[in-house]
Amino acid sequence: MVGAWTRICALCFGMVGASQVPLRLETSNDWSVELSTAWNVLGPFPIHAREQHYISPSFPLNLTKPIDYTATWPSSYADGGRVSWSTIISSSDGNLQVSFPNIRWKSLRDTEGWAALQHHAVLRTTLTVYPPKSLKDTSDTPNTPNLRVHLVQGSYFTVLPIENHTNISPRWYAGDIYAIERSLPHIVQLPVPPSLSSPTTYEIFVAGDYEIRLFGDPHVRGSEIPVQSIQLKVDIENAVPSVIRESSQDVVCDFVEGFAFGNALGVGVRSASGWWTVEGVEIAPESSGYFSLELARDTRIAPTQTRIIPLRISQFKPFYDTQLRFTLTLVSKTRTLVDIVLNIKQISQWTDSTFSTIQGTYFYAISMPTAFLAIPPQHENQGAPKPPILALHGAGVDIFGQSLWADSFSRMVHSWIVLPSGRTSWGLDWHGPSAADAWGSLDALVSIINDNPTWSKWSLSTNSPAIIMGHSNGGQGAWYLASRYPDRTLAVVPAAAYIKSQSYVPLTLSRSARYIDPALNAILESSLTPDNNDLFMSNLVNMPVLAIHGGEDENVPVWHSRELISILQTWDTNASAMFYEDPGKPHWYPTVLNNDRVQSFVDDVIESAESLKARSKSFTLTVAIPAESGSLHGWRIESLDIPGRIARLMIHSTDDGKVFVTSSNVRAFSVNLATFSLSSLSVDNARVDFPHDLGDTLYMKAVEPKIWKALNEPNRVQSSGRMQAIISTKAPISLVIPDEHHSQELSIALRIAHDLHTYHRLDCAIIQSSEVFTSGILNEGNVVVVGNGAAEQLRNTAFELKNPTPEQPLSVPGTGILFLHPHPMNKDAKMLLLQSTDAIGLEKAARLFPVRTGVAVPDWIIVGPDSDRMGAAGIFSAGVWSSGWTWNEPMSWKY
């Protein structure tokens, strides 16, 4: 579970006002910058995981007012109930070790457990920008430089002028809180231009938030004191080419005996300035006889944005070179050519005794180049292909940069092992786009193998169910995928898995909870329901399960696996579930999934795959969001009566094919008759008549509550339910900004694009509102509309914002508005509008954009200025749409 925290350095504390030791990060005849190593620190304050997305990152400070560094602030963590400022000194490479040794942490955790260690702090230091030494006079005035700021394992940062920043709305940039591999810095525009003749000093504020998942239990280090290990690097981007290669973002497949193991290549490119469109690609002459390359889509890059240019491979014959050369043509006001050299890893064809783990690629969501790993079987098929293994890594495990995960498996005799990335090493905890990537990687491997005659002896069956395995966060993901897509899962082996985020570290010390209406809190927490694995155990009662946990797991307590097995066996005492607690073992050990017990279980499942299709006479299908769940024994819930609440189908069948169904909160469902045959059907104690020549699928809909009718056409699957749905897209996400006066809106769009790329490798196109109905890309994927002006084109759709009146909350300064919305042109896509009363409100809305799991935001929300200090209690109104995108009274709350 714990991410990339492996090193804790000694603390260096001083008094407030200690001498400022500058850290010069870059010096030249160009612009340069110094970052002070002396930091002011205020904290700690209780907070639960992810609550920082509601509370102001500078809490308890208001940065639009002068700061009193002699003041104290209330905090229930401190003796006497108040905390004051202190000073720490960072290391020369920008590392900060933030802790509060005067807090009696043991006393707090004795009663509150890990929840007591979660805390927030605000950090402040200065940076100084120096003009070029060679600048003679104003005629030599260069363009105002941008900063390159990389905050690792901090929540947010902002840069403000040292003086007169009370009139400036802070722009908060998300840090790389997970320390994700190959992440890029933010390109930050200075809030006011620096002086051309003398140094200019700015303040930089950082929100530091301790989460157990990120920093771990201090007991592991033999300490009671939690330590935030944060790194901040700042430099200046001086004169550079208008288009910059970001080779760390490239996506390249391996070549097996000269054949590309995939059809996708990705090239990282950043615009240093200006809007650039990738117009074409030309392969080098020495490679043109082997394959062709074409752009998978038109790609426009906004100023300072990084995008991965998608290229499709069409191969004619084996290619054995170790480098692939081609040229990209980009057009702005001028035309530029960018020469690309990609290093190719050539590997030999696997044999019975030798193999290499293979990196394959495919296009996620139409055009996003995505890599995965595959371990080939020892032997070719003997008869029908055997089911594959889908292996999900833990949080912070970079499967491409380190071999630890791939080395954790022995080759199977006839089954492929697929190791998806989940988009990144953290992804979305194997939910949403991470879950889609897991299935997409498996489907890609099937296509790669089956499309190349050279590998036909190792082919896989299309749509074959998989055995899902995983460790830690991947173990939780194995529970998730198996219980949400049971008909795609043959068996599941979760190791060291946690149940859900609220069980891992409880939300008991939530600041918001001290002020919030419980009815509102229930609506917000419905956003977490789809991720709560314990609620979906009914879907696994007929599935073979082997849960494994180290008896001395210091990271995910062993009771999590015990509890999930207990829940499963409560649903059905005869459930095919086994639990093995490995005595004395820690969270991770190399043989956790590579041992005789696991191998024997997997072998038995593979050999008895056909007989595993047997099912109980009675079973229950549980669903929270239909678009995020598949079928169970052919039955699928497609629409809820009251979205935001759990839905269930209780199904009982007799030997002669009579089926009796009881529904709970279901508006529409279907059953695949090729999977589940029936002679008669009764739903909610009423017989349902249906023609017997329907084909493969029977579709049912409630025309009135509990009154059912068979349909002649498919139901529309409900896709709303929480804000997080916006990042489950079928194509690049379009970020729409106003045509003019869009400085803040463009900044927010760039920040969202940066964060989605960092956390999920999701591609975003930034377009202007006048292009909304002319841009072809808008017809494909989800759309995010940033700002009020950009929404003008959408006033003719199902949701409309009217001019506020003085008595309405929308007239309150500092109010942010987010709501999901049906896409005006594509029924399979969604739209999110980010709007506000002012600049401060728009920043507030942007911080609630759902990049991480555990951020409780339903379909729509209006959040006011009190959220800065009261968190979610500062919400004016929130709710979940009905299945038809209309008002849902039971799941709506108004101030």
Same domain, residue pair 216 and 256: no
Assign 529 a pLDDT band (cuts: 50, 70, 90): very high
> In this predicted model, which residue has the larger pLDDT, 253 or 11?
253
Assign 803 a pLDDT band (cuts: 50, 70, 90): low
Tally of CA atoms within 13 A in the half-sphere of 256 that contains its CB: 20
Same domain, residue pair 737 and 700: no
Residue 720 has what pLDDT?
A: 86
- CA–CA gap between residue 391 and residue 5 (Å, rounded): 23
pLDDT greater than 70 at residue 138: no
- CA–CA gap between residue 76 and residue 45 (Å, rounded): 7
Chain-centroid distance, C-alpha 125? 30
Q: What is the pLDDT of residues 817-854, one digit of tens each?
A: 999 988 888 888 999 999 999 999 999 999 999 999 99
The bridge status of strand 389-392 relative to strand 466-471 is parallel
Is 51:510 a contact under the CB 8 Å cutoff?
Answer: yes
Mean pLDDT, the chain, integer: 91
Residue 802 has what pLDDT?
A: 58
Same domain, residue pair 68 and 181: yes
Last residue of a domain, one of 238, 265, 294: 238
Chain-centroid distance, C-alpha 142? 39
pLDDT greater than 80 at residue 380: yes
The bridge status of strand 38-46 relative to strand 85-89 is antiparallel
Residue 438 lies in a domain: no
Amino acid found at 287:
S
Task: Find the domain containing 264 and state its range.
Answer: 240-347
Same domain, residue pair 164 and 287: no
Q: What is the pLDDT of residues 703-730, one digit of tens each?
A: 999 999 999 889 999 988 999 999 999 9
Burial of 574 (0-12, 13-18, 19+ CB in 10 A): exposed
Alpha-carbon distance values, 356 to 203, 347, 887 (Å): 50, 7, 55
Same domain, residue pair 161 and 220: yes
- CA–CA gap between residue 862 and residue 523 (Å, rounded): 13
Residue 22 has what pLDDT?
A: 40
Assign 770 a pLDDT band (cuts: 50, 70, 90): confident
Residue 836 has what pLDDT?
A: 93
Residue 272 lies in a domain: yes
- CA–CA gap between residue 364 and residue 727 (Å, rounded): 13
Angle 836-840-845 (CA atoms, 0-180°, nearest 5)?
50
Using the structure block, give the residue that is written with the tokens 């409630």.
Answer: 702
Residue 15 has what pLDDT?
A: 29
Alpha-carbon distance values, 786 to 755, 817, 879 (Å): 15, 10, 20
> In this predicted model, which residue has the larger pLDDT, 694 or 417?
417
Is 864:836 a contact under the CB 8 Å cutoff?
Answer: no
Q: What is the pLDDT of residues 296-343, one digit of tens each?
A: 998 999 999 999 999 999 999 999 999 999 999 999 999 999 999 999
pLDDT greater than 80 at residue 7: no
Last residue of a domain, one of 650, 685, 711: 711
Residue 790 has what pLDDT?
A: 67
pLDDT greater than 80 at residue 10: no
Q: What is the pLDDT of residues 557-598, one digit of tens each?
A: 999 999 999 999 999 999 999 999 999 999 999 999 999 999
Residue 793 has what pLDDT?
A: 58
Strand partners, 470: 392, 494
Last residue of a domain, one of 677, 711, 745: 711
Reference 43, options 127, 151, 154; nearest CA is: 154
Strand partners, 391: 469
- Please state which of the ranges 338-347, 432-441, 777-786 shows the lowest mean pLDDT: 777-786
- CA–CA gap between residue 12 and residue 746 (Å, rounded): 39
Count of positions (residues) in the chain: 895
Chain-centroid distance, C-alpha 65? 35
> In this predicted model, which residue has the larger pLDDT, 443 or 791?
443
Residue 666 lies in a domain: yes
> In this predicted model, which residue has the larger pLDDT, 1 or 257?
257
- CA–CA gap between residue 474 and residue 497 (Å, rounded): 7
Backbone angles phi, psi at 810, to 5 degrees: -65, -5
Domain CATH for 244: 2.60.40
Same domain, residue pair 737 and 845: yes
- CA–CA gap between residue 448 and residue 440 (Å, rounded): 12
Amino acid found at 200:
T
Same domain, residue pair 59 and 155: yes
- CA–CA gap between residue 544 and residue 491 (Å, rounded): 5
Assign 402 a pLDDT band (cuts: 50, 70, 90): very high
Q: What is the pLDDT of residues 656-692, one digit of tens each?
A: 999 999 999 999 999 999 899 899 999 999 999 887 7
Same domain, residue pair 27 and 78: yes
pLDDT greater than 80 at residue 165: no
Structurally, the chain folds into a number of domains equal to 4
Domain CATH for 787: 3.30.379.10
End-to-end CA distance of the chain: 38
Same domain, residue pair 245 and 223: no
Is 355:375 a contact under the CB 8 Å cutoff?
Answer: yes
Residue 203 lies in a domain: yes
Assign 791 a pLDDT band (cuts: 50, 70, 90): low
Measured on CA atoms in the order 523, 527, 530, 531, is the torsion positive or negative?
A: negative
Strand partners, 699: 670, 711
Residue 136 has what pLDDT?
A: 53
Reference 188, options 220, 227, 149; nearest CA is: 149
Residue 574 lies in a domain: no
Residue 801 has what pLDDT?
A: 54
Same domain, residue pair 168 and 281: no
Residue 805 has what pLDDT?
A: 53
Same domain, residue pair 810 and 873: yes
Assign 464 a pLDDT band (cuts: 50, 70, 90): confident
Query: Is omega for the bond preceding 806 within 30 degrees of 0, making it cis?
Result: no
Residue 775 has what pLDDT?
A: 62
- CA–CA gap between residue 691 and residue 711 (Å, rounded): 10
Assign 12 a pLDDT band (cuts: 50, 70, 90): very low
Residue 233 lies in a domain: yes
Residue 775 lies in a domain: yes
Same domain, residue pair 197 and 107: yes
Residue 514 lies in a domain: no
> In this predicted model, which residue has the larger pLDDT, 773 or 603?
603
SS3 80: helix
How would you write 276-316 as a 3-class SS string?
EEEEEEEECCCCCCCEEEEECCCEEECCCCEEEEEEEEEEC
